[in-house]
Amino acid sequence: MRRVAEIAVSVGIVLLACMSCRAISSLVHDDQVVAKVGRYYLYKSELDKVIPESASPEDSMSLALQYINAWASDVVFLDVAESHLSKEDKDVTRELEEYRRSLLKYKYEQKYVNERLDTAVTESEITRYYEAWPEQFVLDVPIVKARYMRISADSPNLALIKKKMASTVVDDLVEADSLAYFSADTYTDYSGKWITVVMLARNFGVDYGTLMSRMDRSMVEMKDNSGKLNVAYIEDYIAAGETAPLEYCRDRIRDIIISVRKQTLINELERDLLEDARSKGKFEIL
């Protein structure tokens, strides 16, 4: 603990010296040691790398102190760890070698895959996957197509907008959008895509369960803490436990197909490298 105290005092003296504007300014502009912890030194050149040239003097000071404190914390921690760990515990040669191998393997895999991966996915491939694995697309929460607005409860256009936003006539929807533009704080049309009820609930500032409990047929209305009225017209609804429609799953399926292709390339690479090493006599089981 005495060693820790000595280190803390050393860091403290340097950091206290940095607290004035003049001292902090010198950290950024003078070519010198700006902090020390025991035998470790932090140089101005290292600060230059983290402080943008466009930063204001105030921001430069703040960034300098943040970096110095973070650096000192790391060094103090390392110093204490080295003084309390056994020689065996401090020997990380094997772990470093394992990490080096894993990192090199990962980097080559990424290079190999990026040079060969076909990212084009056809609609027929997406449809085939969806039809082959329907159990992967069972909904955890309901999804909806909806129109949402936040408006003053005493707005003279409230009733008309609600009527128009529940319509299926294009002209009515255009009118609802136009009226809401001038009368509502927010008007968002989610009817062109499926969204989760969880996402819709965020517009209301409530959780998913609360929103579901307030849903009356195809309309949801709730006042928020500011007295504003949140209104959503539910155009379509699919319950949790049912299979999501293809249009909702399309992007996810595309990602799955590409991910499978990546893994296939990696598996083939490992197999081919092993077979090549065996054929050239580089690999043999003794």
173 Cβ contact partners less than 8 Å away, ≥ 6 residues apart: 147, 164, 165, 167, 189
Same domain flag for 228 and 148: yes
**DSSP code of residue 238:** E
Instruction: Please check whether residue 50 is in contact with residue 34, taking contact to mean a CB–CB distance below 8 angstroms.
Output: no
- pLDDT tens sequence across 45-78: 888 888 888 888 888 889 999 999 999 999 999 9
Total structural domains within the chain: 2
How does 39-68 read in b/e, with b if 16+ C-beta sit within 10 Å? Answer: ebebebeebeeebeeeeeeeebbebbbebb
Does some domain include residue 167?
yes
Q: What is the CATH number of the domain that holds 194?
A: 3.10.50
- pLDDT tens sequence across 116-131: 999 999 999 999 999 9
Same domain flag for 83 and 144: no
The beta strands (E) that lie in the chain are given as: 33-37, 40-43, 143-152, 184-189, 195-196, 219-223, 228-238
Among the candidates 202, 221, 238, a domain finishes at 238
Does some domain include residue 40?
yes
Does some domain include residue 223?
yes
Count CB atoms within 10 A of the CB of residue 234: 22
Q: Which two tokens stand for residue 259?
A: 């991910």
Does some domain include residue 266?
no
pTM: 0.71
User: 202 lies in which domain range?
Assistant: 139-238
- pLDDT tens sequence across 253-266: 999 999 999 999 99
Angle at 24 between CA 18 and CA 28, to 5 degrees: 130
Q: Is the pLDDT of residue 5 over 80?
A: no
Q: Is the pLDDT of residue 182 over 80?
A: yes
Does some domain include residue 132?
no
Does some domain include residue 33?
yes
pLDDT band at 229 (very low <50, low <70, confident <90, very high): very high
- pLDDT tens sequence across 122-165: 999 999 999 999 999 999 999 999 999 999 999 999 999 989 88
How does strand 143-152 pair with strand 40-43?
unpaired
Same domain flag for 148 and 71: no
Does some domain include residue 268?
no
